[in-house]
Amino acid sequence: MTPDLPLTRDIVLIGGGHAHALLLRQWGMDPLPGARLTLINPSATAPYTGMLPGFVAGHYSREMLEIDLVRLARFAGARMIFGRAVGIDRDTRLIQVTGRPDISYDFASFDIGITSDMPDLPGFPEHGIAAKPLGPFADQWRAHLEREAGPVVVIGGGVAGVELALAMHHALKGRGEVRIVEAGTGLRGVSAATATRLRHALLTAGVELFENVTVSKILADTVTLSNGETLPAALTVGAAGARPFDWLAETGLDLHEGYIAVGPELRSTNDPHIFAVGDCAHLTASPRPKAGVFAVRAAPVLTQNLKAVAADQPLKEFRPQSHYLKLISLGGKSALADRHTRTVGGSWAWRWKDWIDRRFMDRLNHLPQMSSGVRPAVAAVGAVETQPLCGGCGSKVGPDVLERVLSRMPNSERGDIETGPGDDAAVLKLGNTRQVLSVDHLRAFWNDPWLFGRIAAVHALGDVWSMGAAPQAALAKITLPRLAPELQERTLSEIMAAANDVFREEGAEIVGGHSTQGAELTIGFTVTGLAGDRVVTTSGAEVDDALIVTRPIGSGTLFAAEMALQANGDHVEAALGIMARSQGEAARILAPVANAMTDVTGFGLAGHTARIADASGLTACIDLSALPLFDGVEALAEEGIRSTIWQANKGAVRLDGPDTPRTSLLFDPQTAGGLLAAVPAGSAQATLDDLMAKGHQAAIVGAFTERAEVQIQAR
């Protein structure tokens, strides 16, 4: 049996380029024990640029060329951090990331690509769009097609610009001319035969190429050239002058024309703790053009060398090939194949390119099934194989078990305790003041301690907010997995910084806590809040009160799917952003008008609605069509994906309703879920409008009626 080794080294991947994506796949199949792998990327996905012309031409959907980094990070056991790296302090080994504290590293690798942005060209920031990075460009291109289209100007007459222009011409289908502007002579970097055939393709398509002229100014509907000529342009795209990101110049790393200079081991020539691959790197021992093929070929060497430096082993050299195959799309389903001095082409070349591209994406988005361990030959009766235990509130004890245990506890004999076991929080009388006291503890469901720490703090405050109290103080309870002392400090610092931000935003303070080591990361908080004369509880709802929830449901299903490598990374990123947002503002809107309130957590929307219904002697009627859902969760529910507590939640509620995927989500456990309030019908819409004006994805999902045989009627 492999020993449970502590994590001792932090390896951080900056950027989700092709080489890093392949590294994550390889790492998941053969990880290095003792090394903690982290990926930093601005978003959950990264584009495969080889399919960009096909996307522009309409041959591929946007989703087909997106590499799901969330899925790859889960497969590799890596931390996934959403943010843009903007700087690095090599003395302290800290990476600056937008919107969060710095990230520590022992070894770091850059694969951030390049940009074709033109910030110094007059009018480009306001009226132009760079072809790289893909995300903003794809959105602009889609919007252009959805409008009445119109003329397009592509700045840059290299192969990439010509390929893009031909793809645009194909997609526009006569709804706008496409023109290319090139400062020098176009179509450099390919053989003379290929250049000739590309010029013929432009001529046949009617795409005009302006050479040896520059753009001097861009307006909303025109592009002015240096010779004074004006071109009409409903869309102006920058595909020239691809360059390294400016912030690399501030790193102190050896650079070559702005690119990180690396030796044959892909390691920085002046910092042994830094590696770089892909378009952002310059191979000093064997310079090559900027082409994705080299990043793909470098991935195995990078993977081996990052493992080697972490284990103090010898490194391997990367030896790129001298010549490589260029497959160039011609707009329609035709392409040219260029290698060295030879050029061939036709529809077969496009099919070849399509096969290569699809095979590459299939390797990254359809990952191998790894063994989860040996099943025992003999086990105790009832020890059946079940799905892996969910994190967050999906790992809670079922409501019926908890209710039976709490029912056997005696009532308090103290006069200063107003509530008993089972309420959202304890209410303590301190003279004329009421103090609300609650505790929550979460098993990690996300591998970024900072983001998980923020979500855990928001989650813990839910009971205080739902009772209409103002947060006061918190005690932290943190269990770390086995880490070396330096990594313990880094991880605790990230968690405490995130939690402190949440509590201080609400006027509360962390006043102490407890830490320990265990099998996995768990974070919890004991929280207190101060209330006035009125504490909002689960009892008090009245007939015709509207039922308002302040955020979508479905997080339990989504993260059960994410654990199983079946969730969409963009959906996961969006949900995490909602879950990490404080709900103090929503509580301050609801508390003055709510007759009853709770928060939606482990027992799901149905379970927590049933608590209000039971405490108030009513039945809740839920409008299934009005339920706000996290993106993608209804489709996952239709596939039968459930959180581990789902069955127990379903069995604990008497519900009359259709058996549909949407109904099943009523029993889905929520972590940092929304506030759930019974609001008088006359003020419900105004309250909802206030919540939505503040950016909360709130909805009126039903109303309360006279008591019926069931707790909830869902229609």
Active-site annotation, residues: 393
CA distance 608 to 549: 11
Count of H helices and E strands in the chain?
A: 20, 36
SS3 track for 469-507: CEEEEEEEEEEECCECHHHHHHHHHHHHHHHHHHHHHCC
3-state helix, strand, coil in the chain (%, to 5): 35, 25, 40
Residue 3: count of CB within 10 angstroms of its CB: 6
CA dihedral of 554, 559, 560, 566, whole degrees rounded to 10: 110
CA distance 69 to 329: 26
Q: Comparing C-alpha atoms, which of 530, 528, 422 is closest to residue 475? A: 528
Find the radius of gyration of the CA atoms of the chain.
29
Residue with tokens 């071109």: 231
Cα 548 to Cα 78, 84, 620: the distances in Å are: 37, 36, 12
Structure tokens of 65? 């060329």
Angle at which helix 485-505 crosses helix 449-466, to 10 degrees, equals: 30
Structure tokens of 115? 């940009």
Cα 370 to Cα 1, 75, 380, 398, 585: the distances in Å are: 17, 9, 26, 30, 44
The DSSP code for 6 is P
**Under 8 Å between Cβ of 474 and 497:** no
